[in-house]
Amino acid sequence: MADSATWRNILSVEDFRKLSNVRSLISIALQSQYSHSERYRQLGLLFNAEIDASPQLDAFFNFILNPDTASGVWLDWWGKRVGVNRNLVVDGQDTRLDDEFFRFLIFYRAVVNVSNSTAETINSLLTRLIGLPAFVTDYQDMTITIRIVGDPSAVQIAILQNYGLLNRPAGVLANVETVVPNNLVFGFFGSNLLPFNQGVFNPSKVIEI
């Protein structure tokens, strides 16, 4: 929207097939009998410069309509459209997400809203949201367990607890567990940490949601 289509600059024309007369640089807003009058042409350019709303429309698009570039209260407006709020409580403290993280959350929620609810999709989305490997187990009895390999931050845990971003069909129970591989495990000396039944004791932490 850099240039008006009526008072065009020939250097900015993208498709000459849309012009009525490519041999003329005269604006199509001028009748042919006045098209060669320098005064009329300058008057038209001056008039266009005063009423051209292109800068305002560009600003409206960039700061409000485009979620890629919107900020502040307009980003909050986009959050309401998809169902997320940038204000949440983390460890008992009121926390406000910054624009960039909140923008990511808006796009994430928008994808969740239109995605299916398969385990593969949940795994992919949660891994992207948390930045840690995550996988879901569907027990086919209206309950699921989501295991996160690693230690998510307090903000990420609060998001899981408050925003309902699991993208799953109606059910009665969802468990979220975290497992930190670096924790010490139980084994027998000389057995390469392989106890009975080839298992390890690595306690998980349950996140209440």
What integer best gives the mean pLDDT of the chain?
75
Rounded Cα gap, residues 205 and 184, in angstroms: 14
Q: Beta strand pairing status for 87-90 and 93-96? A: antiparallel
Rounded Cα gap, residues 18 and 166, in angstroms: 49
Q: Kindly report the pTM of this predicted structure.
A: 0.61
Residue type, position 146, single letter: I
Q: Determine which of 12-21, 38-47, 124-133, 156-165 has the lowest per-residue pLDDT on average.
A: 12-21
